[in-house]
Amino acid sequence: MNKLNLCESEYRFACIVWEHEPLGSGDLVKHCHEKLGWKKSTTYTVLKKLCEKGVLKNENAIVSALVKREQVQKFESEQFLSKTFDGSLPQFIASFMSDKKLSSAEANELKKLIDSFEG
């Protein structure tokens, strides 16, 4: 199983760590209660699972990430694109944009982004 393959609750949990790392496990419990409505036991169960997967580490009750948010986002994006659009980025963009309009600034920003990856 790929360690970057996170379910929704694992991803939301990891987002809390990414936003506040490094953080004490007590603070993590507070954040998870506030943002996810989780009890202490749920927080520690998910923390243990993500540590076992190699996504997070918990040393001396200080939690930090071993994997960057961008790595997980890239993996998830590639999986979605492959599964849903046969790996075709143009097909995805056409589908996503079918009922949307871009401002000139947004269109220019996207053009610059595409140009930066061309080659």
* Segment 29-64, tens digit of pLDDT: 999 999 999 999 999 999 999 999 999 999 999 999
DSSP structure class, residue 39: -
Q: Residues 102, 107, 110, 115: what is their CA dihedral angle, to the nearest 10 degrees?
A: 150
For the chain, what is the mean pLDDT? 94
Range 62-82 average pLDDT? 95
Q: What pTM, to 2 d.p., does this model score? A: 0.81
Separation of alpha carbons 85 and 93, rounded Å: 10
Within 10 angstroms of residue 14's Cβ, the number of other Cβ atoms is 20
